Structure 1
Amino acid sequence: MGIFRMPSLGADMEAGTLVEWLVNPGDEVRRGDVVAVVETQKGAIEIESFEAGKVSELIAQIGQTVPVGEPLARIGEGEEPAQVTPEPTVEATSEAVSADECSPVESRAPARVTGGGASPAARRAAAEANIDLSDLQGSGPGGAIVLADVEAVAKARKVTPTAKDELSEMRKAVAAAMVRSKREIPHLSVTQTVDTQAVSKWLAARNANLSPSDRVLLGAVIVKAAALAARKVRALNGHFADGAFVPSEDVNTGVAIALRGGGLVAPALFRVDEMPLEEVMAGMRDLVTRARAGRLRGSEMTGGTLTVSSLGESGAEKMIGVIFPPQVALLTVGAPQVRPWVVDGTVVPREVTRFVLSADHRVCDGRQASKFLTVLADKLSKPEEL
């Protein structure tokens, strides 16, 4: 029990602005409950409590800019600090997944909001977008109008009152992250061209009679295969912090997402190597939906152990990525191309895809990076086993 403090959601983050409380004094919170929304250069991020107990005091006020590490609230009566987000931080990168191929689906249940009426953040957003709150149906408990309700209406009306400023701040965050990554991490890159025609053929047969919301796309297959490769080659799955590599027991795969209007984020799917393909696809769609609505969680922004960034179904055939610190590897995926390919001694047209693995030379070498791509290619050759 103790002090709920402003978490660090990026190595270059110095402060965040509190835009919404999702709890009131006297509320009981559990570990993992979303308790507040904080505005950063990367957008609005939901932050969770990593402690359980009763909220005894809300110290920070709505609209207040709070430095990292400073108190936001008090949970329980103790005096010992209760860190909110203990995971290492993750930065944005200059590559983006082909997120447009992921159609929106319903995200998880909305965060708990107390009381009726409208939250302060919802009122502020409504005023900026010239939206009458009396016209809205709240999705919070007791019909309370929350920030997501206003954002949904603004999106439907194509109202983006602060888009220019948000994009400017996002680009600043991306620039700072990329400068830090290239300055501190000795990158090495290995490339492998993989025959992906069998994967595409298998997916076409699997998806033939399914609705769009039930289909699995190539991106999900690659994310799952990459997670299995990371489980096999542990030197590429984890964080480099305080001068040492800390391997992760879990494979939490970051998915680089291009935001509409510009900007990038790379939230993580947790324990992807243990997920069925259908869950990987659903998780990716959910991340895209919430990333574009500015409703990602702090743990998703800081918990990634390896990131996959894809150009999607069309575009350039090769991309060399920049690693998200404190991660030690980033897999980039070019757009599939039809090329002459030798199969059983005969040259035939085949769909092939180029993969580039950027790795931190402080923790691995070309042999381990090459092994990762070999395992990845093997997994993709047997998609039915994923």
Structure 2
Amino acid sequence: MAVFKMPSLGADMEAGKLVEWLVKPGDTVKHGDIVAVVETQKGAIEIEVFEDGVVEKLMAELGQDLPVGAPLAVIQAPGEAAEAPMQTAPPVAPQTATEPVAPVAKAAPPITPRAATSAGIAASPAAKARAAELGIALESLTGSGPGGAIVLADVETTKPTAAPSPAQNRGAYLAEMRKAIAAAMARSKREIPHYYVTHKVDLSAASDWLSAANADRPPEERILMGALLMKAMALAAREEKAVNGHFGKEGFTPSAAIHLGLAIALRGGGLVAPAILDADKKSLQDLMEAMRELTMRARAGRLKSSEMSMATLTFSALGESGVEAMAGIIVPPQVAIVTAGAPGPQPLVRDGEVIAAQAVTLTLAADHRVSDGRLGSKFLTAIDAKLQTPEEL
């Protein structure tokens, strides 16, 4: 018997709002299944389960704000007898919560037989959906259903109040995201002794290889320079293990897997850095497809909990336009981040002569508790070396 709990979805997360259950008691789940959707300051995150079994009990209600570690469900392992005298909740169809944000709950009671509730307010799913559509606060209604539950008729007979405009909702959401980013980055700079190493990489070989590789590909299938940079970085992290892992209460724990966080700018503002799992094992084509798909889902606000919590090292790039270099801030509990300035023609010395060549400036920010400038230099030069033989990536 295992209690499935609210996962930590980033160093800046303290709580999340449960907005959708995708399972009900009696459902069979397996490792990696998406079972719920939680709304955080960085958007809606799909929550995965990491054990096989049968959902025995849902312990959290739609609309609740739940702190990290709060119980969400009880999962019975295969072949395990049901726990007695546990009172399991009745089957509940997958629902979506649309009511206003509720205060943080101190405890997560099971879903009750009469209706799914939100922060202590009993209401039918249809009533909640219609109330949200009309901009009516459930707290303002008196229920006429069983046990005082709010039903659709109670909503329909109430004069609607003005609902926030999409622009207002978007502005509030971005303001909350900026708060979360500010808190995480302030913590990072306060607690992590950063050091920085910068290196200019000649991209002539990589650019020529890309031009040939993309010659016969349609635009949607072309590989971008960012994929080469990420693959070279992932392979270099195999050699310099002190940049890949997490720093916790027991110190640094290196990671055998290389899950590269990709910094993604969201439309209208904000930033997330979900992980591409096992980036070092992906082909360039697969890595490019993963980058495109992850960016699309991040901007649609549909990321997975594993993507938000499992990054071991982060990459951030300015893209094709921007300044020559930038220095990043480490995302706790990671211990390093590599940032890339905009690639373009830059003066390089080749065979004793100054020439203009395609180049990019990479900057490593790393945790001085784990590594030092010498190791950081080796890491960046290893990335450089791999980019000189792009056909081997």
Q: What is the TM-score normalised by the length of structure 1?
A: 0.79
Native 8 Å contact 1:129 1:159 kept in 2: no
Aligned position for 1:302: 309
Superposition pairs of residues 269-284 of structure 1, within 5 angstroms: 269-284=276-291
The percentage of counterpart residues that share the same residue type is: 56
Q: 1:369 aligns with which of 351, 376, 393?
A: 376
Residue matched to 2:67: 67
Q: Cα–Cα, structure 1 residues 265 and 126, in superposed 2: closer, same or farther, change >3 Å?
A: farther
Residue of structure 2 in register with 1:178 after alignment: 185
Shift of 1:301: 0.7
What are the ranges of 5 or more consecutive residues in structure 2 without an aligned counterpart? 77-81, 85-91, 99-124, 135-164
Q: Within 5 Å, give how 1:334-349 maps onto structure 2.
A: 334-349=341-356
Please show how residues 125-140 of structure 1 align to structure 2 within 5 Å. none
Which shows bigger deviation, 264-273 or 342-351?
342-351
Cα distance in 2 for residues equivalent to 1:179 and 1:126: 41
CA RMSD of aligned residues (A): 2.3
Q: Assess if the C-alpha contact under 8 Å between 1:336 and 1:352 holds in 2.
A: yes
Which runs of 5 or more residues in structure 1 are unaligned? 80-113, 131-157
For residue 63 of structure 2, what is the amino acid of its counterpart? G
2:360 to 342, 353, 361: 353
1:115: how far off?
A: 5.9
Kindly state the Cα deviation for residue 161 of structure 1 after the two structures are TM-superposed: 6.0
* Residues 1:48 and 2:48 aligned together: yes
Give the CA deviation at 1:2. Answer: 2.3
SS at 1:162's partner residue?
A: helix
Of residues 216, 234, 238, the one that matches 2:241 is 234
Structure 2 letter corresponding to 1:360: D
- Distance in 2 between the 1:281 and 1:32 partners? 22
Q: Deviations over 1:80-120 (max 9, x none)?
A: xxxxxxxxxxxxxxxxxxxxxxxxxxxxxxxxxx969x744
Q: Which moved more, 1:40-49 or 1:1-10?
A: 1-10
CA distance in 2, matches of 1:161, 1:281: 35
The correspondence of residues 171-210 of structure 1 with structure 2, limited to 5 A, is: 171-210=178-217
Q: Following TM superposition, by how much is the alpha carbon of 1:159 offset from its aligned partner in structure 2, in angstroms?
A: 5.7
For residues 146-166 of structure 1, the C-alpha deviation after alignment (integer angstroms, 9 at most, x for no partner) is xxxxxxxxxxxx966621111
Q: Which residue of 2 aligns with 1:11?
A: 11
Q: Distance in 2 between matches of 1:59 and 1:323?
A: 35
Q: What is the letter of the counterpart of residue 180 of structure 2?
A: A
1:157-211 C-alpha deviation (Å, 9 max, x unpaired): x966621111011001100000000000000000001111221121111111211
Q: CA deviation at 1:351?
A: 1.2
Matched position secondary structure for 2:19 = strand
CA gap of 1:340–1:14, structure 2 versus 1, over 3 A, is closer
Distance 2:385 2:129 in 1: 49
Aligned equivalents of 1:125, 1:384: Cα separation in 2? 54
Q: Does the Cα contact within 8 Å between 1:128 and 1:161 map onto a contact in 2?
A: no
Count of residue pairs brought into register by the alignment: 325
Provide the C-alpha distance between the structure 2 equivalents of 1:174 and 1:382, rounded to a whole number of angstroms.
Answer: 37
Pair 212,159 (structure 1): closer, same or farther in 2 beyond 3 Å: farther
Contact (CA 8 Å) 2:236, 2:382: kept in 1 or not? yes
